[in-house]
Amino acid sequence: MEDIAKLQIGENSYEFPLVKGTENEVAIDVKTLRGATNGVITIDPGYKNTGACLSAITFLDGEKGILRYRGYSIEELAEKADFLEVAYLLIFGELPTKEQLEQFHADIKDKAIVDDDVRKIIDAFPKSAHPMGILSSLTSALTAFNPSSVNVDSEEDMYRAIVKIMGKFPVLVAWAMRKIQGMPLNYGSNSLGYVENVMTMMFAKPNEDYVINPIVKNALDKLLILHADHEQNCSTSTVRIVGSSHAGLFASLSAGISALWGPLHGGANQAVLEMLEAIKQDGGDTKKYMAKAKDKNDPFRLMGFGHRVYKNFDPRAKIIKEVADQVLNDLGVEDPILEIAKGLEQEALSDPYFVDRKLYPNVDFYSGIIYRAMGIPVEMFTVMFALGRLPGWIAQWREMRLGKEPIGRPRQIYTGENHREFKNISQR
Ligand code: SDX
């Protein structure tokens, strides 16, 4: 392949360099396009064909259903690593040695307390508040209690901000759940592992000893790993563009949490459960919901299906489906919702509408069934997604800042009124 792209506009022809990645992906570098063509730009709603950056963190192949973090396959990481190890890998680029992991965890535990005034902010929320709104608010509010984590330029200052949020975010996640459940806001223990500590803060009752269920712990570890990063998805792109203005890490993460909340993105895991519940209430009539999903006049979509990049199976969905079977079996949970989900999947996989559009179950289709079996309320499902995605957001923000990327500021094509004279109100 030639290493240039040729473009013809009217009588003029232009050449642009091609950029090739380590997995042989190719992009046309249009950095000089507007200047060379006297103002011509590209337009690509939803950025379906547009790369925002070069990144060394995560590789996806949507046709082959491949997902790798820093070159390691998601299948191997989900099976052999734990969440904190994968967080280190995503953020710093290498699997940690035992000493590096212990130091990372020690630095995180050292910062795993939030200012007690945060309780006053949580008190001000109604119990009906959606925990994603609580989480994005509190993540931004952390800036007020940790002002030194705002303008960070050096790697050392970034590291300090990173271990702070890795320590404090699980507290905010747990307290958001305890708030909507009317439970006291508690801490776990620095004697526990990272995920065990999260579980303790989420589930421990004040009047009894909390015993970690290893089935739940292992499943949660896997789920958090599977959600940890996914290259330039909507919320990660949000974190990168907010961070490109040199807004601090916490403010950038707060923006990412808000983007993840949407039902087309991370909010889908909650929407899937609500959809499956509705089908169950409807006597399990999956055909009615399949018809709704295919009806162009009906805004309903089959939640948990389809993906911007995966035009084959989502490798995470395959693993999560296996984990769902195992966890429900090990916990002795009979959940008819799982059978409805499997039935829906089977129908969709043989329906021309879904097959023609390459719509397969995505990461959100089965995850909620596991969270529910763990006793996590449905409003908390997307918060669990955010907890998993935290290291990916951090890694992407750090890569963008260390790469000294310019502030993100897309162009547009204006389609409004041409110039017109102002009219006094008496003349309108
Ligand atoms: C996540 O980007 C990431 O990596 C995200 C994520 C991550 O880890 O960060 O993987 C996490 O967000 C997963 C996706 C969760 N969202 C959902 O499950 C919501 C339901 N899915 C869709 O809304 C949709 O599939 C998207 C948003 C996921 C992708 O949308 P696209 O790529 O913009 O595709 P599209 O809307 O252009 O759809 C193409 C066609 C359309 O039909 P036609 O106009 O060609 O006739 O497929 C149809 C769509 O109507 N379609 C669906 C459908 N998804 C797409 N029809 C019914 N049900 C669906 N779920």
DSSP annotation string for 361-395: B-THHHHHHHHHHTT--GGGHHHHHHHHHHHHHHH
Residue 307 is among the residues annotated as catalytic for this protein: yes
* Ligand 1 geometric centre to CA of 307 (Å): 5
DSSP 23: T
307 within ligand 1 shell (Cβ under 6 A): yes
- State residue 58 phi and psi, 5-degree precision: -130, 140
Provide the pLDDT for residue 35: 97
Nearest to 183 by CA among 119, 89, 231: 119
C-alpha span between 41 and 48 (Å, rounded): 16
* Ligand 1 geometric centre to CA of 30 (Å): 28
CA atoms within 13 A on the CB side of 44: 9
308 within ligand 1 shell (Cβ under 6 A): yes
Side chain identity at residue 261, one-letter code: W
Provide the pLDDT for residue 151: 82
* Ligand 1 geometric centre to CA of 343 (Å): 20
Categorise residue 389: left if φ over 0, alpha if ψ from -120 to 50, beta otherwise. Answer: alpha
* Ligand 1 geometric centre to CA of 265 (Å): 9
91 within ligand 1 shell (Cβ under 6 A): no
233 within ligand 1 shell (Cβ under 6 A): yes
Ligand 1, closest atom to CA 46?
33
Q: Are 123 and 175 in contact (CB under 8 A)?
A: no
C-alpha span between 393 and 350 (Å, rounded): 36
Q: In the 3-class helix/strand/coil scheme, how is 212-233 assigned residue by residue?
A: CCHHHHHHHHHHHHHCCCCCCC
Side chain identity at residue 242, one-letter code: V
273 within ligand 1 shell (Cβ under 6 A): no
Mutate to test the pocket of ligand 1, among 286, 289, 305 (most ligand atoms within 8 A of CB): 305
Mutate to test the pocket of ligand 1, among 48, 300, 301, 356 (most ligand atoms within 8 A of CB): 301
DSSP 25: -
E-only strand ranges, 235-302: none
Q: Give the 3-state secondary structure of residue 329.
A: helix
Angle 325-329-334 from CA coordinates, rounded to 5°: 95
Nearest CA to ligand 1 atom 20: 303
Q: Are 117 and 195 in contact (CB under 8 A)?
A: no
Q: Which residues of the chain have pLDDT under 70?
A: none
362 within ligand 1 shell (Cβ under 6 A): yes
Provide the pLDDT for residue 316: 97
Residue 230 is among the residues annotated as catalytic for this protein: no
Catalytic residue among 282, 307, 356, 419: 307
Provide the pLDDT for residue 150: 83
363 within ligand 1 shell (Cβ under 6 A): yes
User: What's the pTM?
Assistant: 0.96
Nearest CA to ligand 1 atom 27: 264
Mutate to test the pocket of ligand 1, among 227, 307, 354, 390 (most ligand atoms within 8 A of CB): 307
**Kind and range of the H or E run holding 19:** strand 12-20
